[in-house]
Structure 1
Amino acid sequence: MDLKKVLKILILCFIVSAPLIQSAMAVSNLNAGLTIDLLNQKPDPVKPGDVLEVSFSIQNTGSNEKKNVIVELVPKYPFKEISGHGLIDNIGTLGKRYVDERSKVVKFEVLVDNNVNKGQYPLEVQVYESGKKDKVCVSREFNIYIDSESNAEIESLSLEKLVPGKKTNMSFIIKNVGNSPLKNAMFSWESTNDIILPVGSSNVKYINFIDVDENVTVNFEVMTNVNTVPGLYKLDMKLVYDDVEELKTITEAGTLENQKRKTIESKAGIYVGGTTEFDIVFTEQTATGDYSFSVSNIGNNKANSITVSVPEQEGWATNGGSNSVVVGSLQKGDYTLTDFSLTPDRYDESLPLKFLISYTSSDGERNVQDKELSVFASEPVNPGKSAGKSILSTWLIGGLLIIGVAGLLFYKKKKA
């Protein structure tokens, strides 16, 4: 081959490779002596959904100082960037070894995915010269341990009050607030001295599966004795389930999940007592024209400060005075009489009449019940006319009696 051609080829190769050689020298120069260490992490271990804070030490152990050094955190699943928190830090110049300012500490914060399983996950850190990210000199991954396990809570209870003798639905909401599914869950409850008992089923419910962030509602029909003393009673709740861990046992049959049972116990209060029920019946119309009614407490709780009122309504008007009667207190099964001076729009027919019964229940709350019944409106008898008729009848009877006696005496005298 011609010597000139060989020389031209060598020169061309040098021209083409010169930038690459220069770049490699720059990278080598920046990389020489740089080290990255993970100082600490908070929290440790971190859990799904947590904010992870990591601190790194960047050191220059080389013989040349490093200028315009950039440290960047490169998060990958399950780590996420937090809005407003930067992942790039310009630490400036790192002095050469034996110089005080040859190392610096940088901190970053990232969010851990809420649904990640337990295990170790890499978190990458890159160090490069400002404006030359394509010439990364150091890239290192640090394994972050994430502790993930299932966790459940009894989120809510639908029932706060229970009326004695009344069958009521009681619901519990069980939520998986952990980061792995719940399996083979068993929920149960019991009350102090069996004051509250399930009706038609046991106090135990089984749940096969609850996924992450999901909840399940379990229902019971419950009742308490009609003679239960009003008050607040404790309800003990218990949830037992399988916690499926990431740790697995290898056997000849294959890969088996290692499971363990977890138990959560909690308690709540249920007030037994509260409202009651009333019945109102028309009894008679008095001689003065008032309408009399019987008010009965037919519920299972005592009622205090009872007031019976006749509100303004079509068909009836109150004849002055108050349209309310204060009854006081009624034990369950008791009754009392109330009178109202009422004038109907028309007579000799049954008209609807509305009542309001206000009372304080055994739990201290004020309650109102609406009642309506049909009342026969009859015209009241005039007291003056009645008195006149009575006097006339008395005189008539007296006169007849005198005439009879006089006749008898006359008859005897004539016969003699």
Structure 2
Amino acid sequence: MRMFFVIFVLLAMAATFAGAAVNSVYYGDSPRIDVDLASQDPDPVEPGRIVEASFKLDNRGVLANDVVFEIIPEYPFSILPGEGAVKNVGTLGTAQDTARSVFVKYKLKVDQNAVDGNQEIKIRYKSSDSESWATIDNITIKVQSKEAILSVEKFAAVPEAVAPGSKTRLAVSLKNHANSLLKDIKVTLDLGKSGDEETPFAPVGSTNEKVIPFIDAQALSALEFNLIADPDAKSKVYKVPLKLQYSDVLNKNYSKTLIVALVVGVEPDISVYVDTTSVYTAGSTGDISVKIVNKGLSDLKFLNVKLDKSEKYKVLSPYEVYIGNIDSDDYETADFKLSIEKTKDKKLLLPIVIEYKDANNQEYTKNMNIELTLYTKSEAKKLGLVEGNGTSWVLVAVILLAAGFFAYRYWKKRRK
């Protein structure tokens, strides 16, 4: 009995080993050929370039005779001239044969407009053991532009120049220059630094970061940032970094930092009038002082004052006076010497031309008329603007009387 049990165990083990040996040789009674892309050079290949694709054929079935391998060229791939689509592989051995693996190579041209990504290529094979072709699916070649470029097509702030304490909207248009979509796009406006100083902007209603799920190939996508300028922001141009982060279809990550410009500025507000004068009556000559007051938030630069000619007066001094800079909430004066012609007008209009630039070098020209009030001589005397002639005559009379008195005394002494 014990001997029978030992013999049974030995027979069972032998059957197990025999079965294992048979399965390692073939899976049934026909060839089973597996095809894989062994390599591509370059990897990935750029659109418009040539790629060498190496396909590996493995036979996991019985012996395969007269194997023929064919690549079916479809967009975006094409066979190079002189390169045959069909290649004779010959006999493909079994798993017990060291020659069971064969490599087949093709040189393919990738279309110039090929979309980036894993592009499927169609292939098939057959052997003398089968009348029909076996088609292999899901074999792909990596196509990728040299760099998936995402750029800022344009940007604009509305208003173009924001006043301190006011809001602006920054609109940014992005363009995908790649031949495939770009995804996971993150756009960050760095409001921390502009050169060596802090930017005077803060986001309103949202953060300084925007996310776009994807942008199709050669497509545009727009986004906006709502910002507010600090109340004490200086009028100038601020260079603000704009960071772009994104991925392509092959999950390659990209990051770049660009610069956008935001302008803080406000139209200058000036006031011009006659500050002091020594000219009160028609027909007189004297000096006038014109005051220019900068009431705005922006400093003024290169300010020049010009008094135009007129038939009602003559300018005895230079027509133009260069002032230069006037800070916000400050003033300067320009002096002119005038000779007023005879006129019955109570108001004399002085045509003044003011030329200047703001803090952002925007040029301005203001043409205005400032008033010079004229009085009659009696009105001027009454108001104490000029000295009256009465006092002078009294003084002359006193002098004459005194001279006559002393002359009379001298004459009387001579007679004695």
- The alignment's TM-score, normalised by the length of structure 2, stands at 0.51
Inter-partner Cα distance in structure 2 for 1:374 and 1:296 = 15
Deviation, structure 1 residue 194? 5.6
How many angstroms does 1:323 deviate by? 2.7
SS of the counterpart of 2:389? Answer: helix
Match of 1:214 among 200, 210, 219: 219
Given that 1:181 and 1:212 are in contact with CA atoms closer than 8 Å, whether structure 2 keeps it comes out as yes
1:145-169 CA deviation, whole Å, 9 max, x = no partner?
A: 4247976334444369766445443
Deviation of 1:333 after TM superposition, in Å, equals 1.3
The reply to whether residue 197 of structure 1 matches residue 202 of structure 2 is yes
Equivalent positions of 1:116-195 (< 5 A) are: 117-121=117-121, 144-147=141-144, 152-158=150-156, 164-182=164-182, 185-192=185-192, 193=198, 195=200
The CA distance in 2 between the partners of 1:206 and 1:80, in whole Å, is: 38
**Count of equivalent residues:** 295
How many angstroms apart in 2 are the aligned matches of 1:346 and 1:220?
62
How far apart, in 2, do the equivalents of 1:352 and 1:107 lie?
Answer: 86
Q: Who is 1:331 aligned against?
A: 327
- After superposition, give the CA deviation of every residue in 1:81-131 in whole Å (9 maximum; x if it has no partner): 9xxxxx7579xxxxxxxxxxxxxxx999664214465323469xxxxxxxx
- 1:26-175 aligned at under 5 Å gives the runs 43-47=42-46, 50-53=47-50, 76-79=74-77, 111-115=111-115, 117-121=117-121, 144-147=141-144, 152-158=150-156, 164-175=164-175
The one-letter amino acid of 1:307's match is: N
Counterpart CA distance in 2 for 1:88 and 1:346 is 101
> Which residue of 392, 395, 415 corresponds with 2:393?
395
For 1:173 and 1:303, how far apart are their aligned partners in 2? Answer: 34
CA contact (8 A) 1:230 1:273 kept: yes
Deviations 1:289-319 (A, max 9, x none): 555432123333443443223467x998862
Using the TM superposition, give the Cα deviation of residue 181 of structure 1 relative to its aligned residue in structure 2, in angstroms: 3.2
User: 2:363 is matched with which residue?
Assistant: 368
The change in CA–CA distance for 1:200 and 1:77 in structure 2 (over 3 A counts) is same
Contact 1:234 1:267 in 2 (8 A): no
| Unmatched segments (≥5 aa) in structure 1 | 1-39, 57-73, 82-86, 91-105, 124-141, 246-259, 404-416
Aligned to 1:268: 259
Which of the numbers 216, 225, 231 marks the counterpart of 2:230? 225
Contact 1:153 1:264 in 2 (8 A): no
Is 1:293 paired with 2:290?
A: yes
Q: Following TM superposition, by how much is the alpha carbon of 1:213 offset from its aligned partner in structure 2, in angstroms?
A: 1.4
Query: Any idea what SS the aligned residue of 1:395 has?
Result: helix
Q: Deviations over 1:4-29 (max 9, x none)?
A: xxxxxxxxxxxxxxxxxxxxxxxxxx
1:414 aligned partner: none
| Alignment partners' CA distance in 1, 2:271 and 2:337 | 17
Q: TM-score, normalised by structure 1?
A: 0.51
Does the C-alpha gap of structure 1 residues 372 and 201 become closer, same or farther in structure 2, counting only changes over 3 Å?
farther
TM superposition shift of 1:231: 7.2
What is the RMSD computed on CA atoms of the aligned residues? 5.5
Q: Give the share of equivalent positions with the same residue, in percent.
A: 23
With over 3 angstroms needed to count, the CA separation of the structure-2 counterparts of 1:282 and 1:302, relative to structure 1, is closer
- 1: CA distance, partners of 2:78 / 2:351: 70
What is the distance in 2 between the residues matched to 1:234 and 1:389?
A: 63
Cα-to-partner distance string for 1:186-216 (whole Å, 9 max, x where unaligned): 5332312563213454434454553221222
Give, in whole Å, the separation in 1 of the partners of 2:77 and 2:267.
58
The corresponding residue for 1:303 is 300
